[in-house]
Structure 1
Amino acid sequence: MLCAGGSAMTEQDVAVRRAFVVLNPVAGRTTPDAVTAALEQAFPAQGWAYQIYQTQPEDDVRSQVRRALDEGCDIVVAAGGDGTVSMVADALVGSDVPLGIIPAGSANVLALELGIPGTIPEAAALLAGDHTQRQLDMMKLGEQHFILQIGVGLDALMIKDTDREAKRALGRWAYMRTLARNVFGFESPRFTIVVDGKRLRPRAAQVLVANAGTLGAKPLTWGEHIQPHDGHLDLCVVKVRTLVDYPRVIYQFLSGRHPNSTNIAYQKIFRSATIASDRPLPVQADGEIIGTTPITVSVVPKAVRVVVPHAAQASPIIGMMRRAGQAQQQGEDGMTQQDEQAAQQTQHSIEQALRSIRTPEQADKVIDDLEQMSKGVSEHTVAQQVPTPESAKAAAEQVEQAAKAPAEQRPQAVIGEVAAQIAAAPSPQDQEALSKGVQQATQPSADHPAAPAHERQLLQDALLRRLGPLRKLDTAVFLAINSLPHPPLADAFFIGLTTAFNRGDAWAAGLIAASLRDSRQREVLREVLPALWLTAATVEGPIKQVFRRQRPFISVVRAVVVGRKPGNYSFPSGHSAAAFGGAYLLARHHPRLAPLLFGLAGLVGFSRVYLGAHYPGDVVSGAGVGMALAELFRLVGKGVKRQIRR
């Protein structure tokens, strides 16, 4: 079904660029009206005319796209899920016309892979505005081309058995629910796989030919080495023989350890791969069921051009901030000497900026300006759009440049620039260096007394006055705990405690030691350890990444102001989740020790606030999430054992 946009294609104005939009009206949880509104907002203002084609089940999408190519369109836009993107990309193979993506499906894997904005208005604005293009490889199966992944096994069964209503209601979680159901009773088939002439005979629960590595949602991935523009494909074979293997494989994927797992094998495909199985199995390609085994998949390098953001595209907020400011030796905390210098440089710039604040009125204006600059901007957007600094030193130099702004604009420029550089930092080590500079400038300690104290207090008071009741209480408690004396002995104790309980390692060590001394504790070990590690991996992986992607940029700005470690993805506290999850599991077996166990967990939570890593609310939420997940994974483990005994 064709419908014209507000600035429809005409032959009267040849200067107008023309877009053909393929819109799947039943994709994901969006509506055609939302896509149309975003197009109308973004395209005409940038000199684009557009025509929308709404797909119908019986239509041949590929022929519609090829007709638009013959008529001379400048871009073909796929507005839908990965299946829609794949169909449009297939029609564009061999053409120089680029593919634009408006992610409107349930998973939107390719958009995530390429860093395309996750909201429909932002994606439309990218297509209509400044962008670049990237050539991607594709996979040929029969006469069709696919762009993401072709799978046989549990993933195809999951897609086949998940109905559209569940996908619209639950999004990607609908797939997870179906997968959990299919695991029980699934018997791994024997595969015969021929890769570039080499024959393999694995028994596996999943065989995947991957052109892109993302597994459902970042940061989950089949492997960081899998890229859609590297000129080859990657074969992934997941070997699961019994139900006991599933928790191990799930944990390996959640924790990022699967590339080195004995349960998972990888093989590069430079020409083609043929996959057959001992019984016919459904095959999914880019999220759609396309047939059954056997199949042959071929590599098609540089098959299609796709519109993507610039790696270093300036955003309005950063422009405002910038205009306002117009073989190494290891040091402490595992940082290099250059990182230590970057921390000191950042500290000096922040202290210089704080000295420009003389009155409560000036502090109010600083906070008002920062709030206005950050309005409606997410940390994820800033991280994508700010030029990525080459190192922490380069980022600190940008902050130092901001400190040269006029005195009345200096605090806004420096604080905004620090927050932006932390969001854009290319590695956790660079974030750590900048965060350390922030904490040295804003927190008291034995080695680095925070200064200037009066000006810092004015700014923090101004921030507190603008927060809602709960956030104000959370921040005030953080400041009260964090401003306690920090003698070296206390710092060393809390650093050691928080290190020991990272991922629940202290609980695990205690359990292993107890089981070696008392064989009766081995059953406790078998129940507690998998649930504990799955809890820690789930919080540190998917849960934190969801909140990281959605976190408003103003949260980073506020963290700089109050001195909370701004590079940390704070909500919820992973240490607290592991500490309280472990305490809960152990207390079920040793109820008399419950006060000691939960007291120790509470001390871990306190240490996270004392060290400036988390707000109290992060600790409380981490404790609750940790105990809930621990109980969930305990029940799952119990169910797995029952199935095995049958």
Structure 2
Amino acid sequence: MQRYCLIANPNAGKMRKVPLLNAVRSLLDKAGLEHDVRTTDAPGLGITLAMEAAAAGYRGVLAFGGDGTVSEVASGIIGSDLTLGIIPAGTMNLFARELGIPTRLEEAVQIIAQGHTRRVEVGKVEGRYFLLGASAGLDAAIVRNVTPGSKRRWGKWAYYLKAPLTLLTYSYPAVRLVMDGGVTMQGGTVVVANARDYGDGYRIAPGASLDDGVMDACLFRGRRAFNYPRYFWALRRNRHLLLNDVDYYKASNFLLRPVKENTKIPFQIDGDYLCDLPVKIQVIPKALSVYSPEA
């Protein structure tokens, strides 16, 4: 089949403000990209729709939405022969930005039409895949406390609204991080990043690359609430790696678990709460084919 499957999220940031779906369909038609449309408006539905598209034999799957939509659609086609096209319509669009895909709809569609592809790694944990990053500790606690309704209403500001109370009430239990079965460290919060930028566009992993076969771990050793405004301030200025209680590593396998057994420590992937520790993260090189600008 030479047609594409366009999976659109009507709740994505830009989609809530302007009826863009018809405009995108017109752009795809002008570019000669025949397509069918599916909409995803519930958590996990994007994965199911992408898996159905893979089984139906489409030429490729196009994700029209934000990072959450892109992550779900990508998860549904990993292991297939399909290539992912991204038409950014979210609040941050971090994965598209990491790939160099512009936010202008016309330019994003042209990248798909040009047909240049790139293979990138993904993370796998608890049977789920992630594209951007994962974390345990305070960051994941904030994510866990944000409801889907508040995300739809406030976008990225939902996280900022929950951050102060979570900062004061979180207990900061120690997380043990074991990398590639060897190096072991512990701290209050761990971020495992595939992309350089994280959250609200903070460059948490300046040495990260989507196709180097490893991911970058940033460990914040502080375990008191007063540590984290300092971390946040330094992160805003790209100076967090200069702090003497922040560590930075690269690895292909990560084990995260509580230092004290039976301690509940939240864990999130790509901005969605997944489970409590322990978890094992595996980096899968070249797992996903994506349309991207030529280098």
TM over 0.5: yes
Relative to structure 1, the CA distance from residue 140 to residue 115 in structure 2 (aligned partners, 3 Å threshold; closer, same or farther) is: same
Q: How does 1:82-481 map to 2 (within 5 A)?
A: 82-127=67-112, 129-130=113-114, 132-198=116-182, 200-204=184-188, 206-218=189-201, 220-270=202-252, 272-277=253-258, 278=260, 279-311=263-295
Compute the displacement of 1:38 (Å): 2.7
Displacement after TM superposition at 1:265 (Å): 0.9
Displacement of 1:232: 0.7
What is the CA distance between 1:29 and its match in structure 2? 4.7
1:19 & 1:242 partners in 2: Cα distance?
50
Contact 1:192 1:199 in 2 (8 A): no
- From 30, 35, 48, give the equivalent of 2:15: 30
Aligned to 2:19, the other structure's residue is in SS state helix
Deviation at 1:187, TM superposition (A): 2.8
Change (3 A) 1:309 1:153: same
What is the alpha-carbon distance in structure 1 between the residues aligned to residue 160 and residue 43 of structure 2? 29
Q: Is the 8 A contact 1:233 1:269 kept in 2?
A: yes
Task: Decide which structure has greater strand share.
Answer: 2
1:65-85 superposed Cα distances (whole Å, 9 cap, x missing partner) = 233223321210112222221
SS of the aligned residue for 1:34 comes to coil
Q: Cα offset for 1:221?
A: 0.7
Alignment of 1:50 with 2:50, yes or no, is no
CA drift of 1:214 comes to 0.4
Q: For the structure 1 residues 72 and 308, does the alpha-carbon distance in structure 2 shift closer, same or farther, using more than 3 Å as the test?
A: same
Q: What secondary structure is seen at the aligned counterpart in 1 of 2:222?
A: coil
RMSD: 2.4
CA distance in 2, matches of 1:114, 1:215: 14
Could you list the structure 1 runs, at least 4 aligned residues long, displaced by more than 6 angstroms after superposition.
none
Q: Distance in 2 between matches of 1:74 and 1:32?
A: 30
Q: Which one has the largest radius of gyration?
A: 1
> d(CA) in 1 for partners of 2:119 and 2:149?
35
Q: State the TM-score, normalizing by the size of structure 1.
A: 0.42
Q: What displacement does 1:292 show?
A: 1.4
Change (3 A) 1:164 1:71: closer
Counterpart residue number, 1:20: 5
The percent identity for this pair of structures is 30
Q: Deviations over 1:338-384 (max 9, x none)?
A: xxxxxxxxxxxxxxxxxxxxxxxxxxxxxxxxxxxxxxxxxxxxxxx
Question: What do residues 419-474 of structure 1 show as CA deviations (whole Å, max 9, x unaligned)?
Answer: xxxxxxxxxxxxxxxxxxxxxxxxxxxxxxxxxxxxxxxxxxxxxxxxxxxxxxxx
1:76 lines up with 2:61 in the alignment:
yes
- The amino acid of 2:108's aligned partner reads A
The amino acid across from 1:181 in the alignment is L
Contact 1:25 1:32 in 2 (8 A): no
| Gap runs ≥5 in structure 1 | 1-13, 312-646
Cα distance in 2 for partners of 1:169, 1:91 equals 27
Q: Distance in 2 between matches of 1:190 and 1:104?
A: 37
TM-score (norm 2): 0.89
- The 8 Å contact of residues 236 and 265 in structure 1, kept in 2 or not, is answered as yes
1:548-572 Cα offsets, whole Å, 9 max, x none, are xxxxxxxxxxxxxxxxxxxxxxxxx
TM-aligned CA distance change 1:158 to 1:119, over 3 Å: farther
User: In structure 1, how many angstroms separate the alpha carbons of the residues matched to 2:26 and 2:146?
Assistant: 34
2:197 match: secondary structure? coil
CA distance in structure 2 between the aligned counterparts of 1:236 and 1:35, rounded to whole angstroms: 37
Mark the CA change 1:80 to 1:58 in structure 2 (over 3 Å): closer, same or farther: closer
- Could you tell me how far 1:59 is from its partner in structure 2? 6.5
